[in-house]
Chains A and B, each alone.
Chain A
Amino acid sequence: MKMFARREVAHVVAMVGMLFLGVRCAGMEEVESEHPHLMLDNALLVGERTGLQVCVELAPALKERSGELLGALKSDLALLRERHPLWEKSGFGQAPVRVQLGCPGAAMPSARLESKGALLGPGLSERPSPFRTFVYVLDDARAQEVLGKEQAIRARAELLKVEDHVLAEVSTALVVRASDLGRASFQETWLPTGVGLPPLREPAAAPAADFMPKVSGGTGMGP
């Protein structure tokens, strides 16, 4: 005598299958939605980054000096690591700093950059690179075209979609003159800014924008 009818066995098999697939698919959705993800509790910004990685693009006129310039940048980063009070908390101390020649997108600025709102690099990226900072090193002639009177410029390099219509910078581009590497202003102001830390020395205060006098909450035009 059969203990269970064939139909009952089929129900049980279907239940087990549904349970397995349902739970497994829920897990997959979670993994997919969280990879990669914005991480704001340190300065790395992307959860998959494990330490500070910096990529470097050199202007064509500087190719012969790549070893020297990379060495200078590494020294500046080492100095920042020693001196910046937030270095360890920022997550940069989790792994040795890595500096690599060549950046994703290999962009090289050739025209004047705005010092606010500029984009230099891959832009929107579904899978941001491991590089927190993209450093573009220019010779003096190109720097004159790109930077003008600015000592350096920071720009967005990579943006991550956070919501349907919200983007956040997760990698920063830093455009500098080769001659500024190793200088105090680069080490204390621009390099910290480029990796997302407060500068060790604030730049000279810019003139504040003029503003409209404010009359708050007073017109009675309610919702």
Chain B
Amino acid sequence: MSLPPPAEVPPRSRRTPGWIGLGWVAVLSVVAWHHIPRAHANHTHTGGTQLHIATIHGNNGTSTSPGDQDEQYCVQSRTASIDGTRMANFIEETLAKLSTLWDGTANWRVDLWRASRFCFDYDSATRATIEYEYHIKDDWTEVPLCGTYYSCVVFDNAVYDGYHTHYKWGYSYLQTEHVNGYDTRARKFINHETGHILGLKDPDYYGHCLNSVMHNDLYSSMGCTDPVWYPTANDKNSVTRIADRANTW
């Protein structure tokens, strides 16, 4: 009598158990959570550095003349390819003559007044009273970071007021190529660098999109396609919070 053949053992299933898939989803979620930057709660530009020019907390001028809590600015072309007067007029128009502009932000604590002359035409003591300077040149290799690519901002003359440190002087070093079109791209560079002077940051991370002139499609889109070249309500609200000292560090 022969024994019946042993029952055929079914081949071991090759199918991956479901718990492995769930495990991977969980692991990748935890890792992604650690890597994706955390958005600021109010999703504005007021988190983080927020360095700004000192005068934006106050407003003691009149409608016809600036006070020492207002912002005076001067313009200086340092290249033969930019007519200084034309550029100064263009910057003034961008800052204070269009319908959406920085001037008047934070209930006129941002009160921008153009100096009559070019920056270098003032003696050093008078120039020291001007808070903000725009310089235009074909390249800025003598200014670290600017080089031949970036228009950039430098903060100078730090002063602590009992609440925080801010800066008495700010400089925008604009590349000729960025502004010589006298167009909306040029206006965006001017408004963007002015936004830095007033305390705003660039987007924190790829995809940090908000309706803002600080979105840096000037250099890379950071995943944002917002074309604005003017300060938006978001931008102005952020500056107002900084002027109010309501920003968080």
Contacts and interface: CB of A to CB of B under 8 A. Distances in A.
Query: Do the two chains belong together in a single complex?
Result: yes
Nearest to A5: B12
Interface in A77-95: 86, 89-90
Contacts of B31: 18-19, 22-23, 26
Interface residues of A, number: 66
Contacts of B209: none
A115 B164 contact: no
Contacts of B219: 164
A169 to B, nearest CB: 5
Interface in A21-40: 22-23, 25-27, 29, 38, 40
A168 B166 CA distance: 10
Interface string A212-223: 111111111111
Contacts of A222: 98-100
A219 B98 contact: yes
B153 A115 contact: no
Nearest to B142: A119
Contacts of A19: 27, 30-31
B122 interface: yes
A19 B23 CA distance: 11
A196 interface: yes
Given A15-B24, A209-B117, A219-B93, A162 B51 contact: yes
B97 A217 contact: yes
Interface in B10-32: 12, 16-17, 20, 23-24, 27-28, 30-31
Contacts of A115: 124-125, 128
Contacts of A196: 158-160, 165
B114 interface: yes
Contact of B49 (A40, A42, A165, A220): A40
Nearest to A33: B37
A141 interface: no
Contacts of B65: 211
Contacts of B157: 154, 169, 172
B27 A18 contact: yes
A210 B115 contact: yes
B104 interface: yes
A206 B126 contact: yes
A23 B34 contact: yes
A125 to B, nearest CB: 9
B196 A166 contact: yes
A198 interface: yes
Given A18-B31, A114-B124, A115-B124, A167 B98 contact: no
Contact of B34 (A15, A22, A90): A22
Interface in B148-207: 150-162, 164-167, 169, 171, 184, 196, 201-202
Contacts of B35: 22, 25-26, 29
Interface in B108-159: 113-117, 122, 124-130, 133, 143-146, 150-159
Nearest to B231: A223
Contacts of A223: 98-100, 184, 228-230
Interface of A: 5, 7-8, 11-12, 15, 18-19, 22-23, 25-27, 29, 38, 40-43, 45, 86, 89-90, 114-117, 123-124, 150, 154, 156, 159, 161-170, 172, 193, 196-198, 206-223
Given A156-B156, A166-B51, A166-B153, 6 more contacts: A8-B17, A38-B49, A86-B162, A164-B145, A165-B145, A221-B98
17 contacts: A7-B16, A18-B27, A22-B31, A23-B31, A40-B51, A89-B162, A116-B156, A117-B171, A163-B202, A168-B154, A169-B155, A169-B167, A198-B160, A212-B92, A212-B115, A220-B99, A223-B98
